[in-house]
Each structure stands twice: as structure tokens, then as C-alpha cells.
Amino acid sequence: MSNAIPVELASLLEAADAAARDRAWDRFVSANTRLLLHTARTTCREHDAAMDAYAYLLEALRQDDYRRLRAFAANGRSRFTTWLVVVARRLCVDHHRQRYGRPRGDAPSAEQEHAARRRLLDLVAVDLDSALPPDGAVADPQSQLEAEEVHRALAAAVGDLGPRDRLLLKLRFEDDAPVREIARLLDFASPFHVYRRLNAVCALLRRALRRRGVEEPPL
């Protein structure tokens, strides 16, 4: 893939004097303002916050003689627009955090992680009824131990998977990402191929759990 530098960026970085740089900057902003605005609006839902973030990221891109833009010109492997969206989003997030602090919902909660493991276990067809108490009930020590053992075995089995399969499981069960989106991100040919791989991974996990002594209940 070509990492060709857009003409507006090249003109900006090669501008000979301040006047030429100002003109080139105006052209660069004009060429990219829609993408930058769209990124700001996607990151900051509220209109005023998005406009503030947009102004902030323009200023940040100009800082230190366009240091960030020069870094792309020197090292960029991707398309410029892809890189620009990444940097613009990070700048918007930084701006938002500086003003409002880090949102509480950033990392998945313990409950969310537990729910994700539960969904995965359901798919792997391990019977949890005997291992986990009904919601709200107090588990007896034996049941609790069995449940912890199942979870540990599952965590170990997932840890033995390749990175792509682990990412597939995280996207599907922890992030609840739509299968179509997963197909695009992980470069599957179609959502159907995602389901096929999920089935194959679950079969791997079932075998791994059996090796660790976790058996499926008789039908």
C-alpha cells in the first residue's frame, strides 16, 4: 500500500517562509476539515464540546512546527487519512479528559467481564447449573470452588489461543461487537466466516476444558 503524502501536506512541510506556510496551512485545513470535524463530532457527542475539540486539535497539529505531521511524513506506513483520524481522535480524547477527567466507564467492570465469561461458557456448552448458584442465592463453598475452577480453566484455555482468536472472542463476547464489524476488522471474508471461526474456537476450548477435567453434562 502506498503511503503517499497528500499534496496539501507536502506543500505545508516544504513551505519556504511564514507566508507560504500560512497559505499552505489554510489549504491543508480546507482539505481535511470535514474529516477532522467528523472525528471530533464522533468523539465528543455534544456540539460545543466537538467544536472546542476541533479547535484544540487544529492548534495541536500546528504545534512545534507541525511536529506530528512531520512524524507521519517521515515514518507513516498507512494512508494519511487513517493516521489523521487516529491522531485527531486521540487529541480529542486528551482534550476531553483534561477538561472533564477520565470517564468512569472506560474499562469493563468486573460484572461486565463476568457476563462476558458467562456468555462464552454458554457457547462452549459447559453446564454451569451445578457450578454456579442461581442469581441472588448464596453459593455453598463446594459450588463456589467448582465455579472458580471452571473459570480458571476457561481463562487458561483462552490464554492458550492465538492472538487473533483471543481478539475474536473479546470483540464478540466482551465488546458485543456486531459480527459484520468483526469481519471487517479481522479481515474475514464475510460474517459467515466469523461464525465458522467462532465455532471452531469453541470446539478448541471444549477440548481444552476436557483436558483440564471440566466435563460437559450428559445429554
Site for another protein, rule CB under 8 A: 1, 3, 30, 33-35, 37-39, 41-43, 47, 60, 63, 68, 71-72, 75-79, 81-83, 85-87, 89-91, 93-94, 97-98, 101-102, 106-108, 162-164, 166-167, 169-171, 174-175, 177, 181, 184-187
The least distance separating another protein from the CB of residue 107, rounded to whole angstroms, comes to 6
d(C-alpha 4, C-alpha 10), whole Å: 10
Min separation Cβ 169 and another protein, Å: 8
When the beta carbons of 34 and 219 are compared against another protein, the nearer one is 34
Q: Would you say 143 and 183 are in contact if contact means Cβ atoms under 8 Å apart?
A: no
Closest CB to another protein among 104 and 138?
104
Task: Please tell me what DSSP assigns to residue 126.
Answer: -
Cβ nearer to another protein, comparing 75 with 142? 75
Taking the least distance from each CB to another protein, the nearer of 97 and 130 is 97
Nearest Cα neighbor of 60 from 117, 98, 31, 113 is 98
Upper half-sphere CA count for residue 46 (Cβ side, 13 Å): 4
CA-based end-to-end distance of the chain: 52
In the complex with another protein, the residue whose CB is nearer, 28 or 72, is 72
Cα–Cα distance between 164 and 9 in angstroms, integer?
35
What is the phi/psi pair of residue 87, to 5°? -65, -45
Shortest Å, Cβ 65 to another protein: 14
CA angle, residues 91, 94, 96, in degrees to nearest 5: 110
Q: What whole-number distance in Å separates Cα of residue 85 and Cα of residue 42? A: 11
Measured from the CB atom, the residue of 73 and 147 that comes closer to another protein is: 73
Minimum separation from the CB atom of position 52 to another protein (A): 14
140-146: list long-range contacts, CB under 8 Å, 24+ apart.
Answer: none
| Nearest-approach distance from CB 144 to another protein, in angstroms | 27
Q: How far is the CB of 143 from another protein (least distance, A)?
A: 30
